[in-house]
Copies of this chain bind each other. A is one copy, B any other.
Amino acid sequence: MSAIASQPTLEFWYEFASNYSYLSMMRIDQLAQDFDVNIAWKPFLLGPIFKSFGWESSPFVLQKEKGIYVWKDMVRQCKKYDIPWKKPSVFPRNSVLALRVALLGVDQPWIGAFNRRVMQLNFAEDREINDQTAIAEILRDLGLAADQLMTEALSDSNKLALRTQTEEAQRRGIFGAPSFFVKGEMFWGNDRLEDALHFATQRA
């Protein structure tokens, strides 16, 4: 316990609908181990934040040129990192259910595996992630009490907790995902994950 307590911590703010969060999700466990940094998992909803900017969808949908580019970039980035990729036929996908379940697991040993599995559904298998059957199957495959967790995930208190987490993201100035916080400093985007980890390991 004391070894973990003395490790620096990186907060990982992620969204299951976000393709660049997918890249970080598939890389972060190994990197955190390499850098000897602890991960604080922070699932949140990007939609309300985009809405606060007056955007009705992702900038990758609203900005045609950027959208065309992003899917080419994803092919190259996934190849670079050796991560499977299948362009989602629906983007951005409704991620509320999966985020609610993730929020229950942030301090549980299954969170990393659950996160990766949800991301793979969306970005490697082109499947819906707002489907109770699919999410319950992931939980069961992890040896968990799926029915009980689904009930908890859909409870009013947990729904409120995800809204509160999203408000916290907004209050912190988060404007996209993934975002990382280390010692109060924000780092935005998968391209800054290594920088954030370096910063975490620097002495004050």
Which of A63-71, A100-108, A119-127, A135-143 lies on the face that meets chain B?
A63-71
- How large, as a class, is the contact surface on chain A? 20 to 34
A76 partner residues in chain B, CB cutoff 8 A: 195, 199
Q: Which of B63, B66, B175, B199 is A66 in contact with, Cβ under 8 Å?
A: B175
A176 partner residues in chain B, CB cutoff 8 A: 66
- Taken residue by residue from 28 to 69, chain A's Cβ proximity to chain B (1 for < 8 Å, 0 otherwise) reads as 000000000000000000000000010000000001011011
In the assembled complex, A173 has its CB within 8 A of some CB on chain B: yes
B65 x A175 contact (CB < 8 A): yes
A66 partner residues in chain B, CB cutoff 8 A: 175-176
A173 partner residues in chain B, CB cutoff 8 A: 65, 68-69
A63 x B72 contact (CB < 8 A): no
In the assembled complex, A96 has its CB within 8 A of some CB on chain B: no
Seen from chain A, the residues whose Cβ lies within 8 Å of a Cβ on chain B are: 53, 63, 65-66, 68-69, 72-73, 76, 80, 173-176, 185-189, 191-192, 195, 199
